[in-house]
Chain A
């Protein structure tokens, strides 16, 4: 089955129309020396029914938990059914990039709405249409900041390890530098930052909240960075922005982040969505697609892909990036999610996550051996000590179908609580922590 509509007879007639005697004739330009001599060695074709039941049985080998207390860059939020229903409309799903604006106004308008949502959440002036994920967004932002002589990004050991890894990969490939400096009590060390900020520093990247869940004193960082003529990139979790001071309020030059929390399923890590927003001054350095509003010849509002002089299909090797995908369907999902929960709903998601995380932190840290690692203000993730092998804790939780926090290299546990975690679940985790360590 190849989803080919034509019958054998129709195909034979079509072949005759091309003037070829056989299908092989159509491939006469492929030299004999590179022709595959044997069929591809792949599993036999199966019917859709068979394949789906096979894939279902593979899915069943995955373990599904009834409660999740793990975040570390991917967050379990409630996704309203209306979001899934609308974002699965096949006109959206099966379209290409909106190169032909007249037949793509729906998609272009959604991207325009997405850009507006991101600007409203971050307070920034301009948003692009999205990039692959939060980590690549950070790497692309670094590329925006590099200029002659300024080739270094400074960041802290408290950013997400996966983001740091991607930043380093991109930097290494481009011949740029990433300098990682230490933290004090889990927060960016301003003293060390002051020393690292030399003439070669293009930018500083911080996360808000950081990997440990802590809220940075971004105001002081921003002042220091700008004093040294470098740029500040803030990696902000978008749900937290319903409550937290915006990157614009802190004076960030570029805001980026992982927007998975805005209505995208966990999906074993993808597809996710990286957002990128900047000040107007940096607008023409933004990579990727951007949608703008204009009019058609009759004066009707119309949306188009714009500022394309930045992009690879025009500028080729002088483009700011090769990216052309904007994870459009993910951007659409995030937009619909934000409109579905709305202004009050997103605040509620963020406040419930915040309140429940603080309840959990208080409860867990009262158990001997599970003290809070850091004293700073946190959003919805926090680190506790662990008096035993943390794997023991995870197994005990798993027996009750609870996915515990992430075990860090130091043996401590990074917990995450969102609005979907109930008080009963949090209480249950606490009692299991007690049970396991009591024996």
Chain B
């Protein structure tokens, strides 16, 4: 029963009617007209409602259950955020309005920017980037503009640890930088010697996630940023893991010059099945003049737009994903500084709790405690039983749990990365631990049942190779 909406179409059916036009109907000259109408579906409202309601039952969100997808911070998305973002006073605002007509929107932008500066220890913020990777692109553009503006165009190398998200090197390449990958230590940290060897006159910047992608805070963070600064480069903070350290430490105080945040991770805005997100970029004052245009300033309660002196231009048509960062504003107001810190503390507590309970069963490649997420390696299990990280993940699905991130970071073989977040209860974590242990036993005793998983879903494992070999990309 996976009929497409097109297959439910019947000629002449309608769900929506419009009032009479009321003016003389004019037809478009034939030379400009398409030869045949776009074959869109023709369905009645009830067909439409059932079709998409049934599709929603084949989707799994945070509202359905536990979603410990590492590095994605799938925390609960408070409903009040949705209510705020549905206010007609915001949804009906045209982006081409004059500032005087949109004082409420500008106030949100200004106040949220101030709050994000405080949380990150940065001096200025743009809310324009529409997602994390868009933030990376924007932040690196600032660095590029700064280097060109200061006669340092020869600094073309961007250093990225091998544990980085794929977006880091990809965003760097979009900015014309050459990527220098440096290895991590066996503990998963930045290899200081490798870093010292990599930096030089050609270093543009280091791009770093801290806590890093194996869920650990790099103790040498100040030495890392100093090493790059001493060589004349800048330091970029990938905010993917900020949920571990709100109110505890700030990228700005660790020596970072630029940071991007993910409103859809740390600040509870929903992921929407793959966006819309929001990826604000913060920077130190010496980079503010390069930020995308416009920014908002305040004078006696009146808000106005201004263009930074040497702005890189726009990265999005208007002011970014306004309704998304409005939800983040709402979240920050409800939690306050104390609540944000509590959120981070509990994110770290929940991760360590799960880690401790699983440590005796699964191989944890790194000793000691973790931050808000942890990685396990199923390499040994795979050699012994043939059961891979992916098989365990599919087994979790049959137990009503969304799998953790698989096969990332690349430096850990057969990786599964859990990020429980702070909004899960002990029972939820206990249940997940129990399921993980049960799956481990199944791997040893009845591996075939795991190879066949999942069996409780509308479809089993799709043939991805066939999808690539013979691409069917539309109806």
Contacts and interface: CB of A to CB of B under 8 A. Distances in A.
Contacts of B312: 169, 172-173
B194 interface: no
B320 to A, nearest CB: 6
B136 interface: yes
B378 interface: no
B333 A43 contact: yes
Interface stretch (A118-126, A179-187, A191-199, A429-437): A118-126
Nearest to A119: B474
A68 B94 contact: yes
Interface string A110-132: 11110111011101001101101
Given A62-B104, A102-B459, A321-B170, 11 more contacts: A14-B426, A35-B248, A51-B334, A60-B104, A91-B57, A304-B462, A313-B167, A330-B276, A355-B24, A358-B26, A419-B18
Contact of A377 (B32, B130, B270, B463): B32
A6 B475 contact: no
Given A27-B348, A39-B341, A94-B77, A266 B474 contact: no
Interface string A54-96: 1110111111100010111110101010100110111111111
B13 interface: yes
Interface in A319-367: 319, 321-330, 332, 335-336, 338-349, 351-352, 354-356, 358-359
Max chain A Cβ within 10 angstroms of own Cβ: one of B272, B402, B422: B272
A328 B166 contact: no
Given A2-B343, A11-B346, A113 B5 contact: yes
A336 to B, nearest CB: 6
9 contacts: A5-B424, A78-B18, A93-B61, A95-B62, A97-B274, A268-B102, A270-B320, A306-B473, A327-B274
A325 B58 contact: no
Given A42-B336, A322-B167, A325-B134, A2 B221 contact: no
A243 interface: yes
B298 to A, nearest CB: 13
B426 A6 contact: yes
Given A1-B334, A18-B369, A31-B221, A91 B56 contact: yes
Interface in B52-106: 52-64, 67, 69, 72, 74-78, 80, 82-84, 87-98, 100-105
Contacts of B167: 312-313, 322, 324
B22 interface: yes
A435 to B, nearest CB: 21
Interface string B320-336: 11111010011011111
B34 A29 contact: no
B18 A63 contact: no
A266 B105 CA distance: 13
Contacts of B277: 325
B260 to A, nearest CB: 11
A108 B277 CA distance: 18
Nearest to A271: B276
B474 A46 contact: no
B103 A61 contact: yes
A156 B61 CA distance: 44
A409 interface: no
A306 B464 contact: yes
Given A36-B248, A271-B323, A346-B38, A63 B471 contact: no
A78 B246 CA distance: 41
A241 interface: yes
A370 B316 CA distance: 33
A322 B137 contact: yes
B32 to A, nearest CB: 5
Given A109-B58, A169-B315, A349 B18 contact: yes
Contacts of B33: 243-245
B245 interface: yes
Given A82-B45, A103-B60, A3 B13 contact: no
A342 B345 contact: no
A107 interface: yes
Max chain A Cβ within 10 angstroms of own Cβ: one of B28, B76, B84: B28
B183 interface: no
A294 B355 CA distance: 37
B108 A58 contact: yes
B404 to A, nearest CB: 10
Contact of B335 (A41, A45, A111): A45
A91 B60 contact: yes
B314 interface: yes
Contact of B318 (A74, A86, A243, A351): A74
B159 interface: no
Interface stretch (B171-179, B381-389, B435-443): B171-179
